[in-house]
Amino acid sequence: MNKFCTFGLLLFSINAFSCSDLLDTDMRILDSAETKNLCEYEGKALLVVNVASRCGYTYQYAGLQKLYESYKDEDFLVIGIPSRDFLQEYSDESDVAEFCSTEYGVDFPMFSTVKVRGKKAHPFYKKLTAETGVTPSWNFNKYLISKDGKVISTYGSKVKPDSQELIAAIESIL
Protein backbone atom coordinates (compact mmCIF):
# COMPACT_ATOMS: atom_id res chain seq x y z
CA MET A 1 0.00 0.00 0.00
CA ASN A 2 1.51 3.38 -0.95
CA LYS A 3 1.83 6.24 1.51
CA PHE A 4 -1.12 8.16 0.01
CA CYS A 5 -3.47 5.21 0.47
CA THR A 6 -2.22 4.72 4.02
CA PHE A 7 -2.77 8.41 4.80
CA GLY A 8 -6.27 8.31 3.26
CA LEU A 9 -7.14 5.20 5.26
CA LEU A 10 -5.88 6.85 8.44
CA LEU A 11 -7.99 9.98 7.78
CA PHE A 12 -11.03 7.81 7.05
CA SER A 13 -10.49 5.87 10.27
CA ILE A 14 -10.17 9.04 12.34
CA ASN A 15 -13.30 10.55 10.79
CA ALA A 16 -15.26 7.30 11.08
CA PHE A 17 -14.74 7.18 14.84
CA SER A 18 -14.86 10.87 15.73
CA CYS A 19 -18.63 11.24 15.78
CA SER A 20 -20.53 10.56 18.98
CA ASP A 21 -22.79 7.52 19.02
CA LEU A 22 -25.74 9.81 19.74
CA LEU A 23 -25.27 11.80 16.54
CA ASP A 24 -24.31 8.85 14.35
CA THR A 25 -27.84 8.55 13.01
CA ASP A 26 -29.31 8.98 9.56
CA MET A 27 -32.43 11.10 9.26
CA ARG A 28 -34.47 12.00 6.22
CA ILE A 29 -34.84 15.69 5.45
CA LEU A 30 -38.42 16.98 5.66
CA ASP A 31 -40.45 16.52 2.47
CA SER A 32 -37.48 14.98 0.67
CA ALA A 33 -35.93 11.63 -0.18
CA GLU A 34 -32.53 12.97 0.89
CA THR A 35 -31.02 11.77 4.16
CA LYS A 36 -28.39 13.34 6.36
CA ASN A 37 -26.25 11.77 9.04
CA LEU A 38 -26.35 13.93 12.14
CA CYS A 39 -22.56 13.52 12.44
CA GLU A 40 -22.47 16.34 9.90
CA TYR A 41 -23.50 18.59 12.80
CA GLU A 42 -20.79 17.47 15.22
CA GLY A 43 -18.84 20.50 16.36
CA LYS A 44 -22.07 22.49 16.66
CA ALA A 45 -24.26 22.93 19.72
CA LEU A 46 -27.73 21.59 18.92
CA LEU A 47 -31.19 22.22 20.25
CA VAL A 48 -33.31 19.27 19.10
CA VAL A 49 -37.05 19.87 19.30
CA ASN A 50 -39.97 17.59 18.48
CA VAL A 51 -42.37 19.97 16.79
CA ALA A 52 -45.99 20.03 15.65
CA SER A 53 -47.87 22.49 13.47
CA ARG A 54 -51.25 22.35 15.21
CA CYS A 55 -50.30 22.53 18.88
CA GLY A 56 -50.81 25.15 21.56
CA TYR A 57 -47.01 25.52 21.64
CA THR A 58 -46.63 26.01 17.88
CA TYR A 59 -45.92 29.71 18.49
CA GLN A 60 -42.52 28.53 19.76
CA TYR A 61 -41.40 28.19 16.14
CA ALA A 62 -40.89 31.98 16.13
CA GLY A 63 -38.66 31.81 19.20
CA LEU A 64 -36.74 28.83 17.85
CA GLN A 65 -36.09 30.70 14.60
CA LYS A 66 -34.91 33.74 16.56
CA LEU A 67 -32.56 31.56 18.66
CA TYR A 68 -31.16 30.02 15.50
CA GLU A 69 -30.60 33.41 13.88
CA SER A 70 -29.00 34.82 17.04
CA TYR A 71 -26.46 32.03 17.55
CA LYS A 72 -25.94 30.28 14.19
CA ASP A 73 -22.66 32.15 13.63
CA GLU A 74 -21.41 30.66 16.91
CA ASP A 75 -21.88 27.07 15.70
CA PHE A 76 -25.39 26.65 17.07
CA LEU A 77 -28.24 24.88 15.29
CA VAL A 78 -31.89 24.27 16.03
CA ILE A 79 -33.12 20.98 14.62
CA GLY A 80 -36.86 20.50 14.20
CA ILE A 81 -38.27 16.99 14.09
CA PRO A 82 -42.03 16.81 13.50
CA SER A 83 -43.98 14.08 15.23
CA ARG A 84 -47.58 12.93 15.14
CA ASP A 85 -47.22 11.09 18.45
CA PHE A 86 -49.54 13.66 20.03
CA LEU A 87 -51.88 13.87 17.01
CA GLN A 88 -51.13 17.53 16.26
CA GLU A 89 -49.04 17.38 13.10
CA TYR A 90 -50.13 17.37 9.47
CA SER A 91 -50.08 13.94 7.85
CA ASP A 92 -48.47 15.32 4.66
CA GLU A 93 -44.88 16.50 5.06
CA SER A 94 -45.28 19.07 2.29
CA ASP A 95 -47.95 20.75 4.46
CA VAL A 96 -45.54 20.76 7.41
CA ALA A 97 -42.76 22.29 5.30
CA GLU A 98 -45.04 24.95 3.83
CA PHE A 99 -46.53 25.84 7.23
CA CYS A 100 -43.14 26.23 8.90
CA SER A 101 -41.77 28.31 6.05
CA THR A 102 -44.74 30.60 5.41
CA GLU A 103 -46.05 31.05 8.95
CA TYR A 104 -42.75 31.28 10.85
CA GLY A 105 -39.98 31.73 8.27
CA VAL A 106 -38.24 28.60 9.56
CA ASP A 107 -34.92 27.99 7.85
CA PHE A 108 -33.21 25.83 10.46
CA PRO A 109 -32.91 22.13 9.56
CA MET A 110 -36.17 20.23 9.63
CA PHE A 111 -36.32 16.47 9.35
CA SER A 112 -39.01 13.97 8.46
CA THR A 113 -41.95 13.20 10.70
CA VAL A 114 -41.02 10.42 13.12
CA LYS A 115 -42.19 8.74 16.28
CA VAL A 116 -40.47 10.14 19.37
CA ARG A 117 -41.89 7.79 22.00
CA GLY A 118 -42.27 4.09 22.60
CA LYS A 119 -40.98 0.97 20.91
CA LYS A 120 -41.39 2.43 17.42
CA ALA A 121 -39.53 5.65 18.22
CA HIS A 122 -36.90 6.74 15.72
CA PRO A 123 -33.43 5.44 16.68
CA PHE A 124 -32.24 9.00 17.39
CA TYR A 125 -35.02 9.49 19.94
CA LYS A 126 -34.31 6.08 21.46
CA LYS A 127 -30.71 7.24 21.97
CA LEU A 128 -31.83 10.57 23.44
CA THR A 129 -34.15 8.79 25.85
CA ALA A 130 -31.49 6.24 26.82
CA GLU A 131 -28.94 8.98 27.49
CA THR A 132 -31.24 11.27 29.45
CA GLY A 133 -34.03 9.12 30.85
CA VAL A 134 -36.41 11.71 29.38
CA THR A 135 -39.00 10.85 26.75
CA PRO A 136 -40.94 13.71 25.18
CA SER A 137 -44.19 14.06 27.07
CA TRP A 138 -45.61 16.53 24.55
CA ASN A 139 -44.66 18.58 21.50
CA PHE A 140 -41.81 21.10 21.73
CA ASN A 141 -39.75 19.05 24.17
CA LYS A 142 -36.12 20.18 23.85
CA TYR A 143 -32.74 18.46 24.14
CA LEU A 144 -29.63 20.65 24.30
CA ILE A 145 -26.57 18.86 22.90
CA SER A 146 -22.98 20.08 23.28
CA LYS A 147 -20.52 20.50 20.42
CA ASP A 148 -19.01 17.11 21.28
CA GLY A 149 -22.37 15.34 20.93
CA LYS A 150 -23.42 14.92 24.56
CA VAL A 151 -26.83 15.89 25.94
CA ILE A 152 -26.38 18.80 28.35
CA SER A 153 -29.97 19.21 29.45
CA THR A 154 -33.61 18.66 28.56
CA TYR A 155 -36.47 21.13 28.65
CA GLY A 156 -40.19 20.49 28.59
CA SER A 157 -42.72 22.13 26.33
CA LYS A 158 -43.42 24.97 28.75
CA VAL A 159 -39.81 26.21 28.58
CA LYS A 160 -39.95 28.86 25.87
CA PRO A 161 -37.06 29.39 23.45
CA ASP A 162 -36.50 32.89 24.84
CA SER A 163 -36.41 31.76 28.48
CA GLN A 164 -33.38 32.92 30.44
CA GLU A 165 -32.81 29.33 31.59
CA LEU A 166 -32.46 28.03 28.03
CA ILE A 167 -30.50 31.01 26.70
CA ALA A 168 -28.01 30.80 29.60
CA ALA A 169 -27.50 27.08 28.94
CA ILE A 170 -26.93 27.67 25.23
CA GLU A 171 -24.48 30.50 25.86
CA SER A 172 -22.58 28.37 28.38
CA ILE A 173 -21.72 25.77 25.72
CA LEU A 174 -20.92 28.08 22.81
* Active-site annotation, residues: 55
> Exposure string (b/e) for 145-170, b if CB count within 10 Å is 16 or more?
bbeebebbbbbebebbbeeeebeebb
First-to-final CA distance of the chain: 42
Contact 48, 79 (CB under 8 A): yes
> Distance between CA atoms of 133 and 95, rounded to whole angstroms?
32
Q: What share of the chain is helix, strand, coil (3-state, %, to 5)?
A: 40, 20, 45
Q: Among candidates 98, 112, 104, 93, which has minimal Cα distance to 61?
A: 104
